[in-house]
Amino acid sequence: MSMIVSSIGQGLLWGILGIALFLTFRILNFPDMTVEGSFPLGAASAVTLITHGVDPLLASLAAFVVGALAGGITGLLYTKGKIPILLAGILVMTACLSINLRIMGSANVSLLGKKTIFSPLAGLPKYFDAIFIGLTIIVVVTLVIIYFLQSELGQAFIVTGDNPTMAQSIGIRTDRMTNMGLMVSNGLIAFGGAVIAQNNGYADINMGIGIIVIALASIIIGEVVFGELTMNQRLLAITLGSIIYRFVLLIVLQLGFSTNDLNLISAILLAICLMAPWLNSLLHLDKVIKKGVTVHD
Amino acid sequence: MKRMISFTVLLAAFLLFAFFNTGKTTQSSQADSKTQKIYKIGILQLMTHPALDQIHAGVLAGLKQEGFVSGRNLKIDYENAQGDQSNLQTMSSKFANEKDDMTIGIATPAAQALAKAANGQTPVILAGITDPVGGGLIKSNARPGANITGTSGESPLKSQLDLIKQILPKAKTLGIVYTTSDHGGSYNAKKMAAIAKAAGYQVKLYTISTTNDMQTIAEKMVSQVQAVYAPQDNGVASAMKTLVNVANQSKVAVFPAVDTMVQAGGLATLSVNQFTLGKESGIIAGRVLKGEKTSTYPLTFVTRGQMAINTSEAKILGITLPNSVVKQAQTKGEIYK
């Protein structure tokens, strides 16, 4: 049972990344590789600050700022430097490796015995610290983003992603919108990195590898499992998708699959989810499901 | 939308149930484990890698020597995170959840994840962790404190430097190359630099961030130094062939930290065998299962090195290896041709 609790907790924490990536991947419509650099960047900044005696919450917020800076650089390279977005992201991601080493001073910094944002909840049943912290962060982040997307600025941001030419013609500064999206997204990713590093108990230089797949998985699984949704509901679906992804990993582990194949299995799972619309039209799953439901009703 | 609401409600109901029930289940199964005679051990490895695999094989051999055999009185749960660190926590909490009697961590992040999951309760055995104090795992080598002990994979740096002195008495500048993202590699490189400086060498440090950098860095290095030391470092070990090819062209000898790197073209080393290192951890694990306390069990350093030499490499470089070195390699070490 506590394994399931642990998975839900992990799902909530990693859900932050899904929501952050949603802003660039789905709304602005481009793949942002910066995240593989800003995630360990946030972890490195927060963990180093904490080991130097800074309050863990303050350190996590500082990670947001540092991550936003990284996103801002990608944005400038893309909008002003006219570097293709994929390349701009990869450049910043690569640069982050050296910067993270400078920040941490070594490839791995431990937090064992240090106070983290999870410490005050140590008295709760096992893994509930991650549940409570994760839930709080997810609720706050989701509400702020919902509020933002409903504002005038947020609407302009959405239009930029939908149709940049039209956005420009009605006077929206699309470059600014793109920069802002990248900054907020990477700030959140770095914040997520800071929180996850505190939950893991260490920051490691290589912890960013494969992060984009995890974040994408939450978005895509959420979309496939929960179907047609409004924008606000989609944000909630990402967190649930992130939890489902953790469940899948748990099931794979419990079934005794060789862990050597774990990456292959998550890739196959994602591919199936991405192919879902096509599979659906091919097999008419929709009708099958609807029939099944009506019969049971 | 309906699906989403029901899923959320289901999750919330489960969490509510779990919140009030987790404590109880732990107690009852703890009572069970006392009557159990089959020990459960979780082994967590960071990734598949020749040295780490050797340690893993050694751990099993060490446990066997202490009388713990898988299938008879031991159930081993082996997980390998394949370098993906987001898996480490899921795997170590799986061990904790299954009430494993002990966990064994191979590579620093794996050990850190286990230490976190064990939360000071079940023993954690370190297998070949280069710098456990620096990694925040234990308080001190002599008295680790809490629930963690094991072996350190630190190379016998002093003896390795002596070997360099013995083979190349005239060399005065020593180049050391390591990977910036490898904790063990940078730790060993910096420590060796300090030791060599104290011994009167002029030391130059070079870093690579990926194996792709080796060609360029090695070319620069061999033009500036008289001998090269390659520490125990995953990146350097992977790019050993590149390093040796470059060094051979300038007739600069490469002294690596482990025997597999001598096989890959290094000249000679006095190294700790990874299998022996793992075996020592296995023995410690066995003794702890028999009742020894981890908190006072000092961290074990495997210091006795085995001589390994590469005779064809010596020919290429035009170096005659001292007789004493060759003899040592013949009797108790390895000779690669």
Average pLDDT over chain B reads 86
| Cβ–Cβ under 8 Å, residues A145 and A133 | no
Chain position carrying tokens 């990146």: B235
Nearest Cα neighbor of B176 from B137, B226, B141 is: B226
**DSSP labels, A33-98:** TTHHHHHHHHHHHHHHHHHTT--HHHHHHHHHHHHHHHHHHHHHHHHTS---HHHHHHHHHHHHHH
Structural tokens at position A204: 């490691």
Chain position carrying tokens 């060094």: B247
| B103 φ/ψ angles, rounded to the nearest 5 degrees | -125, 150
Structural tokens at position B203: 């030391």
Average pLDDT over chain A reads 89
As a whole number of angstroms, the distance between CA A164 and CA B148 comes to: 57
Per the CB < 8 Å rule, is B22 touching A125? yes
Cβ neighbours of A204 in B, within 8 Å: 85, 109
In tens, the pLDDT along A94-127 reads: 999 889 988 988 778 888 778 899 989 888 887 8
pLDDT at A117: 93
**Is residue A188's pLDDT more than 80?**
yes
Which of B19, B79, B80 is closest, CB to CB, to A125?
B19
Interface mutation vs chain B, best among A198, A206, A242, most B CBs within 10 Å: A206
**DSSP labels, A167-182:** HHHTT--HHHHHHHHH
Quote the minimal CA–CA distance from A294 to chain B in Å.
Answer: 15
Nearest Cα neighbor of B96 from B81, B125, B126, B118 is: B118
Which is more confident, B36 or B326? B326
How far lies A76's CA from each of A39, A147, A255, A287, B19, in Å?
A: 19, 26, 47, 47, 47
pLDDT band at B29 (very low <50, low <70, confident <90, very high): very low
**Which stretches of B242-281 are assigned E, i.e. beta strand?**
253-256, 268-271
Which pTM value belongs to this model? 0.75
Which segment of A194-203, B142-151, B262-271 scores lowest on mean pLDDT?
B142-151
Mean of pLDDT values over B234-250: 87
Which of A2, A97, A260 is closest, CB to CB, to B97?
A2
**Is residue A253's pLDDT more than 80?**
no
Which of A1, A98, A207 is closest, CB to CB, to B18?
A1
pLDDT at B171: 92
pLDDT at B98: 84
Burial of A69: CB neighbours in 10 Å, binned 0-12, 13-18, 19+:
middle
Angle, helices A174-200/A128-150, rounded to nearest 10 degrees: 170
CB atoms within 10 A of CB A19: 26
Q: Is B135 on the interface with A (CB under 8 A)?
A: yes
| Cβ–Cβ under 8 Å, residues A191 and A38 | no
The alpha carbon of A178 is separated from its chain's Cα centroid by a whole number of angstroms, namely 18
Mean of pLDDT values over A33-56: 95
In tens, the pLDDT along A154-170 reads: 999 999 999 999 999 99
Mean of pLDDT values over B288-316: 87
Could you tell me which residues are beta bridge partners of residue B150? B126
In tens, the pLDDT along B202-229 reads: 999 999 887 778 888 898 899 899 999 9
Which is more confident, A11 or A294? A11
Per the CB < 8 Å rule, is B97 touching A259? no
Q: Is the ipTM of this complex over 0.85?
A: no
Which of B22, B94, B134 is closest, CB to CB, to A1?
B22
pLDDT band at A297 (very low <50, low <70, confident <90, very high): very low
pLDDT band at A91 (very low <50, low <70, confident <90, very high): very high
In tens, the pLDDT along A285-296 reads: 666 666 655 544
Interface mutation vs chain B, best among A202, A225, A253, most B CBs within 10 Å: A202
Query: Which residues 189-248 of B have a C-beta within 8 angstroms of A?
Result: 209
Quote the minimal CA–CA distance from B206 to chain A in Å.
Answer: 15
Which of B1, B4, B94 is closest, CB to CB, to A3?
B94
Cβ neighbours of A262 in B, within 8 Å: 82, 84, 87
| Cβ–Cβ under 8 Å, residues B67 and B86 | no
Quote the minimal CA–CA distance from A172 to chain B in Å.
Answer: 33
**Which stretches of chain A are assigned E, i.e. beta strand?**
108-110, 202-204
B309: three-class secondary structure by DSSP: strand
Structural tokens at position B327: 């003899």
Q: Is A105 on the interface with B (CB under 8 A)?
A: no
Mean of pLDDT values over A67-88: 95
Nearest Cα neighbor of B17 from A247, A5, A243, A122 is: A5
